[in-house]
Chains A and B, each alone.
Chain A
């Protein structure tokens, strides 16, 4: 086996983090994307901009503010302490929250584009066929936006796998808790263990390429 136990631990932690973040964002990002795609209110602009912020902000900036917010003096820190959850920085769930913010646009934007491309007309048809708005959402909008869901899910997962800066700010470097693959590679390089760094980095490279290949080469066709 080329990868050491600590490498495998980091890989497993990375996949777990990306999986949890993707699931959470699927639940949170879908209503946001739906609202952004359907609203004509003036809130659309500001909300869209906030969602897109992680695309342009340096991860360290985002990580810094999240660290403050989740810290003992931050509003979110007060909240988690009041709930008896303690403080989130340097825990797995702290990483989850930070990654969810960081990957939000990768979930929301493809979904928003998919919902917008459906347009009003299929939903109007559903309404004239007795489907309530919620019913129409699940039986018409979701099936028609399926390629968008797939794109959004894969991009979110892959982007979370690849993050580094936010993880370092929020999670630090605790083996098995917050030390994800990208941080592990960094550690290898710091320790001049280039061979080990090669193995893990190579594995990440192949993984990323395969994911993107799947995304670009294969598109499901909801029209069958």
Chain B
């Protein structure tokens, strides 16, 4: 029973939530959508902060809510990270961390020490929250949620209230969390760049409904979803660091018998990394081009083509892993592109996400 089953129906003036979904019981599940799509409300229902009458929720085999049971929030073995940290202003950092730890049956001193270490806040323990920067506050908020040794971690846009610099400060900690935690994480976000860095699964929410859900890379390759229509549509490629070329300061990533060259990375060879390739950075040639400065050319076959507005099309290709390209409709017709064709995909730029 390593899964999370949730069915919630809420009917508020001007907003309705109607979700009936099975979520994986491991890894990071991103709840992604515009503001007003119901992603935070869904998270609050899971936490028991909102009560959807007649709802059902079971987390890894434990029933938290059904027609007979209602487990109040303080009895649910969860950790919750609020959008604006929401630390207790009358307690210092240590007091905030100890607040939940003292009350949690599963927590031990060890879980708190680990949380302090994981978030790098050991130098802040004596400070009051109003003496912390926004980024530090949020790190304490995450550590406080982890110190109770939860069975599931719920995060409500933990980066949304921070500026770009603070985001960059926290993201490495979140990635570390992702590597080192073995509990399921629900991560609410409206920022695709966070989702591609952190998520394993993606649930798309629109107007209170979950319109699609699945593994991150397969979801990003679906041409029928809103994610494919946005300007920064693109896929993620899971690859391994094959070798470092110190001479040219480049690193080669291998996947599915193909390789991509990127700017030199610090991690050792053999490390698994995730690269993001935007559709607008991929062009298509019928034959292997000669005399081009583009280093990354992948053999691929066309899977699907769909119109994207009056002038452009999205092309989904199989290059060992999914690859998306956005080209003009004119180019498609001039090249005569059709599903099944073998082509060469030229990748102009690759962003390493982790």
Contact = CB atoms under 8 A, between A and B. Distances in A.
Interface of A: 121-122, 124-133, 135-136, 139-140, 143-144, 222-224
Interface in B60-110: 72-75, 78-80, 82, 86-90, 99-100, 103-104
A139 B78 contact: no
A170 to B, nearest CB: 40
A127 B86 contact: no
Contact of B72 (A121, A127, A143): A127
Chain A at the B interface: SS class: helix
Contact of A131 (B48, B82, B86, B103): B103
B190 interface: no
Contacts of B87: 125
Contacts of A122: 86, 88-89
A224 B91 CA distance: 9
Contacts of B128: 223-224
Contacts of B48: 127
Nearest to A128: B80
A131 B99 contact: yes
Contact of B73 (A128, A139, A143): A128
Interface residues of B, number: 26
A133 B72 CA distance: 10
A219 B76 CA distance: 38
Instruction: Give the residue among B86, B88, B100, B144 with the most A Cβ atoms within 10 A.
Output: B88
Contacts of A133: 74
Contacts of B205: none
Given A124-B49, A223-B128, A224-B128, A129 B89 contact: no
B79 A128 contact: yes
Interface string B14-53: 0000000000000000000000000000000001110000
A202 B99 CA distance: 50
B130 A128 contact: no
A217 to B, nearest CB: 22
Interface string B135-174: 0000000001100100000000000000000000000000
A131 B90 contact: no
Contact of A222 (B89, B100, B104): B89
Given A130-B103, A144-B88, A224-B128, 18 more contacts: A122-B88, A125-B80, A126-B99, A127-B49, A127-B73, A128-B78, A128-B100, A129-B103, A129-B144, A130-B74, A130-B75, A131-B99, A132-B74, A133-B74, A144-B89, A144-B90, A223-B129, A224-B90
A217 B55 CA distance: 52
B141 to A, nearest CB: 9
A69 B197 CA distance: 71
A124 B86 contact: yes
B90 A223 contact: yes
User: Among the interface residues B48, B90, B100, which one has the most CB atoms of the partner chain A within 10 A?
Assistant: B90
A133 B79 CA distance: 17
Most buried by B among A124, A125, A131, A133: A125
A143 B91 CA distance: 10
Contacts of A139: 99
Contact of B89 (A127, A136, A223): A223
A223 to B, nearest CB: 5
Contact of B86 (A125, A132, A143): A125
A131 B82 CA distance: 16
B88 A127 contact: no
A135 B49 contact: no
Nearest to A223: B89
A127 B99 contact: no
A131 B75 CA distance: 8
A125 B147 CA distance: 14
Counting chain B CB atoms within 10 Å of each CB, the highest count among A122, A126, A129, A131 belongs to: A129
Nearest to B145: A128
B145 to A, nearest CB: 7
A182 B103 CA distance: 51
A127 B74 contact: yes
A119 to B, nearest CB: 10
B121 to A, nearest CB: 17
Nearest to A125: B86
Contacts of B104: 129-130
B100 A130 contact: yes
Contacts of A135: 74, 103
Nearest to A129: B100
A136 B90 CA distance: 13
A133 B48 CA distance: 13
Nearest to B141: A125
Contact of A121 (B79, B82, B90): B82
11 contacts: A125-B88, A126-B88, A128-B79, A129-B99, A129-B103, A129-B104, A131-B99, A135-B103, A144-B90, A223-B90, A224-B90
B148 A130 contact: yes
Contacts of B72: 127, 132
A124 B100 CA distance: 12
A131 B96 CA distance: 13
B88 A140 contact: yes
Contacts of A144: 88-90
Contacts of A127: 48-49, 72-74
